[in-house]
Every structure is written in C-alpha cells, then in structure tokens.
Amino acid sequence: MAVCSQDLTPLRQTDEDLRREQQRQIFFMESLPGLVFHIYRDNTIRYANRYFRKLFGSPKGQPCNELLKCNGSDCSICPPKDAMDNDKALEKDWTAPNGRTFHVQYSPMTDSSGERMVMALGIDITARKEAEDALLKARDELEDRVRQRTKELQRANSQLRAKSINLVKAKKRADAAAQAKSKFLANMSHEVRTPLNAIIGMTELAIGSGNDEDRREYLDNVLEASTSLLSVLNDILDFSKIEAQKLSLESLDFDPRKVVGSALDMYRPTAEEKGLELFCEVDEDVPATLRGDPSRLRQILLNLLGNAIKFTAKGSVGIRAENADPEDHRHILRFSVTDTGIGIPEDKQQAIFESFLQADDSVTRKHGGTGLGLAISRLLVDLMDGQMTISSREGEGSTFAFTAAFDKASGEEVCHDEEPLPELPKLNILLADDNRLNRQLAATVLKERGHDITSAENGQEVLDLLRAAKFDLVLMDVQMPVMDGVSATRAIRTPGSGVLDPNIPVVAITAHALKGDRERFLETGMNAYVSKPIRVNDLVRAIASAYFGREGREASARKVLAGEEQTFDRETALSLLDGRVELLSMMDGIFLRDTPKDLSALEGALDSGDLETAKRHAHSIKGSSRTVGAVKAGSIAEQLEYQCGKGEKQAAFDSFASLKAEVETALKLIGAEQDGLQGGEDEDNSGG
C-alpha cells in the first residue's frame, strides 16, 4: 500500500490561524460600540453583537421584523433586501423602535458556509441628528425673525418717510405762515402808523393854530384818523377773539332790510365821492324780522362793501339779499356784494381768505388794509352756519356771496341801534381810572351833560370816598393799580365794608370785553359795562342801564349781602387760564410751595415794622391767591398791600390775622384737591 504521507502541520496551522482570526473578528465585533448583525434571505438574524443584543435582545428563533418591531411593512423596500438583491453595499439612516437613529451600512457577502447574507454595521447618530434638527430649527426661527424684523423695519421706514414728508409740509406751512405774519406786521405797523402820524401831526397843528376854523378842520382829521386806527385795532381783536373761540353771537330780533340799508348808508358818501352807483335788492320773501346777530351781519356786509368800493374805480357796487332755502326750518339767507372793480386773479381767490394775506402783497400796493377783513368775515359766516364764496374776473369785477342761518323772530321788540339816548337826571358820579387822559375825557363828556364828577385813581380810593360821601353811581375802570375795579366792586358789596351805599350802581370800563367777561363783571356785582375806547352814546346808555336798573336789582343785591362773600372762585381762575387744567394745577403747586413762605415772611416783616418788605410779600400773596381762585385771600392781601404802602401799621396787623386764616383755608383746600389728583394719577400709573 502506497503510503502517501503528507505533512499536515501547515494545514493544521492554517485552520488554527483561521479559527484564531475568526475569534479575533468576533471579539472585535462584540466589543464594537455600534450595531453589528448578519441578516439572511429567510429574514433571520443569525448573528448579532453584544451592542445589538443589549438593545433588542437575542435574535435567536425570531424573524427580523418581529425582533426589530418592523410593524409588518413591505420587506421588499427593506435596505438589507435591497443590498442582497442588487448585490451592492448601501448606507441608510434607520430609526429603531426605541427612538434612536443609526447610520447603517449594509454589505452583501458570503458566510463561511457559502450562504449569502448581509452584514449590517450601524453607529448611533441620535445626538448628531438632534443637534442637526435643532440647528435647522434655529435657522428657520432665525430666518423667521429676520423676515419679521425686516418687515418691521420696512414699516418703520415708511412711517418715517411719511413723517418726514409731513414735517417738510409743516415746515413749509410754518415758513409761509411766518412769512405772512412778518408781512402782516410790516403792513400792520404801516396801517397803525399812518393814522397815528395824522393824529400827532394834526394835533400839533391844532395846538399851534390861532384860527378856530382851521383848528376845527384839524380836529375833524384827528377824529377821522382815530376812527380808522380804531377799526384796525378792532379787526385785530376780532380776529384773535374768533380764533380763540371767545366770540359768541348775540341772539336778537332784527330787521334784515334795515341792516343792509344801514351798511349801504355808511358807504354812500365814499361811493358818491368816487362817482360809483350804489344799488340794493332785497327779495320779497326775505322775512321782515329774524333772530340773530345784526351787528356781526352788518360787520360782514361792511367788510365786503368796503373792499368792493376800495377796489372799484368806476361802475357800480351793490348788495343783494335773497331767501336761499325757503324749505329749511331756519331762515337761510344769501347775501351777495357785487362790484365792477379790478377783480381778483384766479390763483389768488382762495388765498385772500387766509388771515393777513392780500391779493397784492407788494410793497408798492395801491390800497391799504390789514388783510384781515375777509378772514374775519369768513369766520363770522362760519359762526352763522353759512358759507362764503367768490366769483371774480380780473378787470371785470367780483361778487362775494355768503349764506347765513337765522332763527325765526321771537316777537320781542326789534333791536334798534339808533335808539334815542335815554334822559338822565343830574348825577353825582364817582369816576375811577388810573389813566389821566381817560379820566379827563370821561369827566369832560359827563360834565358837559350836567353831571358832577369826582375822580379816583384806584379801587382803594373809591372805597375811601364811598365811605366818606354819598354818590349816585361809580364808573369803574377794571384794570387799576393798588386795587383793581373787580376787587373794589367786590369790597363795596361785602357786608361791613363801611361804604355808605353798598348797592350803589357800578359801571365797569374795560379794554377787553371777551366772552365770559360780561358774566364775570356782573357776577362780581357790577351792573353794566362799556368797552374802551369809550363812545359817548355807549357810555350814556350803560350809565342809564345801571342807574335805572337799580330798583329791580335791590332785591337780589340784598340777597347777596345777606349771604357769604365768595371765598373761592376756581371756575373763573380756570377760565382766566383759558380752561387749561394742567396750568391751574401747576399754579396750585406754586401756590402751595410759595405762599406759606410769603406768609411767614410777611408776618416777620410786620413784626419788625418793615412795611416796605411786608408790602412786597402781600403783593405776591395777592397775585398767587387770585391766580388759583382764592378771591377773598386775594382781596385781603390787596388791602394789606395798600395799608403797608400808606404806613397804616395797626390796620395792616388786623388784616394779617384774617389773611392768615383765609390763606390757610385756601392751602388746605387746594392741597386736598392736589392730593386727589395725585391719587388719581397714581392709580392710573399702577394700572398702566
């Protein structure tokens, strides 16, 4: 037998090596920190490393879909199947049922027994995935934020643009207004200077002239210039009153035909002088009486007529009045003033209604004027619920038309401006005005009418005189030093004031008759008032109204006397500050802060006999008390100020006691009011 011997040592050696190699591989796979498993075509996993087993348990005896909880999905799309079928390695992310995500590499190969299988190697990428997801989310959020911020910026940008456009517009308007105002000032100064020059020049001539006839002519010119100066000032006052909404219309029964007629009459002489024809047409259906403000209606007509005549060299000027809307429950009248004058260029037709503007604003313009007439007229027409329109052609003429609403006449007696002057008996009048010229003028006029006149320069002198002698009536300027007319009247009406006749009629003379002033004067006990400059007829009417109205008033005056004098008048204080509550509250603050100091300084000064200093502090207390409406404290302080000025030490001491009590009451009251306000604000703050 042939013995074929072969040395098996190398073979055994190879087997041994192989086994060792396999062991090394298994050891390596077992210790890997990732998934390793072998999956076969029959869906069994025949090897899984420790990492796998720890997560999913032992694969033995279980089909892979059960083991991996593959919830029965289509095995044909399973990546190991894919790798096996197509015999190619592939990589896929796989999220296991426990929620962790693996990046798995599937490699088809043949096992040691020659069977095809897929070896899967997976590493846990959950943390990376989460980080990536978070990053993506953050990026999306960032993009959202950027988008939103961009939108906001765009919006802010367009708001800013709109604002700056508005600012530019406002600046342009302000510039135009400033320009118009400075033109207006230059104009106004011219309008005021012209008559003033005439007044001064003519007066000098009159003084120097020995001839009565010349003198009369000069004085006629003075009167004419003064009247024109007054109308300029009235225009300015009217305009500011209307703008500040301080002008209210009267409500009187009147005859519209008379108003139109008297307006035309005013200009008849000028029209005749210029050779202009004047005409007037009032339709039949314009009622004979209406209720409204005849003087303001006449003022509008006079403005329009004045312009029409001023700007017309030849031809005619006239007024037409018609019933604009017979259906309306009020009477709507339409007035038109027509002329055949220079006309107004179309591009100026709106601007001339603006205050201070004129169609011809060149320095060389032919016609004077303030440029306020039309602005005032239009504001008045607004107040009468009407509208003003203009139609004009350059070189041919203009028509200014306006509507105005009136009420039905109430049946009261129709107002007649030219009522005969009332007859007054000879009166003993006490006249108080700090201005010597005004005093002299009123005294002369009244003396000429047979009255006896005694003069005083301030309210305190009025009180002293009324304590010493009987008078029939007081003519009282409102603004005077030492003691003003309102305080003096209050003092006269106060019980125990020592005046012989506390019911004596008082007529106020005032430079400013604004809305509310009338009520204020009458409320303090004045009986009538006239505005400066004083027109003789107005003065006589006011005196008559106060003097003859006395009897009817006695009863109510007695009521006032029996009652307490008013201590506080916060309402008037507020109205004096134009109704601005925040201003009053600021003044209250100053009053609370400064008045106690003033009061103790006043006491100190009185104690040391320094009446000059005491007077100063009394003056300051007077002002601040009145500002906050502590009227009684104000009156006592005023009295004290006067007493200090006169060196009446004992009287000043006496007044101080009552002043102190009054001021302390005021401090308490206003302090409490402020606290109330403060409390309210605090609540607001905590709420917001």
- The minimum distance between CB 218 and ligand ADP, in angstroms, equals 27
- The minimum distance between CB 302 and ligand ADP, in angstroms, equals 11
Please, which of residues 83-112 interact with ligand ADP by CB under 6 A? none
- The minimum distance between CB 358 and ligand ADP, in angstroms, equals 3
Length of the chain: 688
The rounded distance, in Å, linking the Cα atoms of 608 and 614 is 10
Helices 212-243, 373-383: crossing angle, 10 deg rounding = 50
Of the pair 368, 647, the CB lying nearest ligand ADP is at 368
Q: Which of 324-332, 373-381, 426-434, 669-677 is the region at the interface with ligand ADP (rule: CB under 6 A)?
A: 373-381
- The minimum distance between CB 400 and ligand ADP, in angstroms, equals 7
Of the pair 286, 374, the CB lying nearest ligand ADP is at 374
- The minimum distance between CB 393 and ligand ADP, in angstroms, equals 11
CB 430 within 8 A of CB 454: yes
The rounded distance, in Å, linking the Cα atoms of 235 and 389 is 21
Q: Is 308 in the site for ligand ADP (CB under 6 A)?
A: yes
Q: Is 358 in the site for ligand ADP (CB under 6 A)?
A: yes
Of the pair 108, 371, the CB lying nearest ligand ADP is at 371
Beta bridge partners of 235: none
The rounded distance, in Å, linking the Cα atoms of 520 and 384 is 25
Q: Is 352 in the site for ligand ADP (CB under 6 A)?
A: yes
Among 125, 202, 333, 344, binds ligand ADP (CB under 6 A): 344
Q: Can you read off the two tokens belonging to residue 180?
A: 């118009």
Q: Is 369 in the site for ligand ADP (CB under 6 A)?
A: yes
CB 405 within 8 A of CB 324: no
What is the strand order of the sheet 116-124 is part of?
Answer: 45-48, 35-40, 116-124, 101-110, 90-95
Q: What is the contact mask toward ligand ADP in residues 310 to 329, using x (rule: CB under 6 A)?
A: -x------------------
- The minimum distance between CB 368 and ligand ADP, in angstroms, equals 7
Of the pair 49, 307, the CB lying nearest ligand ADP is at 307
Among 49, 370, 460, 639, binds ligand ADP (CB under 6 A): 370
- The minimum distance between CB 279 and ligand ADP, in angstroms, equals 15
209: left (phi over 0), alpha (psi -120 to 50) or beta: beta
Of the pair 34, 345, the CB lying nearest ligand ADP is at 345
Among 238, 293, 322, 339, binds ligand ADP (CB under 6 A): 339
- The minimum distance between CB 340 and ligand ADP, in angstroms, equals 10
> How many of the other CB atoms lie within 10 Å of CB of 226?
16
> Taken in order 43, 47, 53, 55, is the CA torsion positive or negative?
negative
Q: Which of 334-342, 529-537, 655-663, 673-681 is the region at the interface with ligand ADP (rule: CB under 6 A)?
A: 334-342
Supply angle C-alpha 238, 243, 249, rounded to 5.
60
CA proximity to 251, closest of 383, 82, 394, 382: 383
Q: Is 374 in the site for ligand ADP (CB under 6 A)?
A: yes
Q: What are phi and psi of 572, to 5 degrees?
A: -65, -40
Q: Is 79 in the site for ligand ADP (CB under 6 A)?
A: no
CA proximity to 532, closest of 451, 454, 437, 444: 437
Helices 126-208, 212-243: crossing angle, 10 deg rounding = 170
Q: Which of 307-315, 426-434, 489-497, 498-506 is the region at the interface with ligand ADP (rule: CB under 6 A)?
A: 307-315
DSSP label of 245: T
Q: Is 341 in the site for ligand ADP (CB under 6 A)?
A: yes
E-assigned strand segments in 492-563 = 506-510, 528-531
Q: Is 354 in the site for ligand ADP (CB under 6 A)?
A: no
Of the pair 231, 479, the CB lying nearest ligand ADP is at 231
Of the pair 209, 336, the CB lying nearest ligand ADP is at 336
CB-based closest residue to ligand ADP: 369
- The minimum distance between CB 246 and ligand ADP, in angstroms, equals 21
Distant-in-sequence, close-in-space partners of 83: CB < 8 Å, separation ≥ 6: 89, 90, 106, 107, 108, 118
Q: Can you read off the two tokens belonging to residue 211?
A: 């001839």
Q: Is 398 in the site for ligand ADP (CB under 6 A)?
A: yes
CA proximity to 316, closest of 357, 366, 352, 264: 264
Q: Is 373 in the site for ligand ADP (CB under 6 A)?
A: yes
Q: What is the contact mask toward ligand ADP in residues 581 to 600, using x (rule: CB under 6 A)?
A: --------------------
Q: Is 371 in the site for ligand ADP (CB under 6 A)?
A: yes
Total binding residues toward ligand ADP, as defined by CB under 6 A: 20
Q: Is 299 in the site for ligand ADP (CB under 6 A)?
A: no
Q: Is 46 exposed, middle or buried (0-12, 13-18, 19+ CB in 10 A)?
A: middle
Q: Which positions touch ligand ADP (CB under 6 A)?
A: 303, 307-308, 311, 339, 341-342, 344, 352, 358-360, 369-375, 398
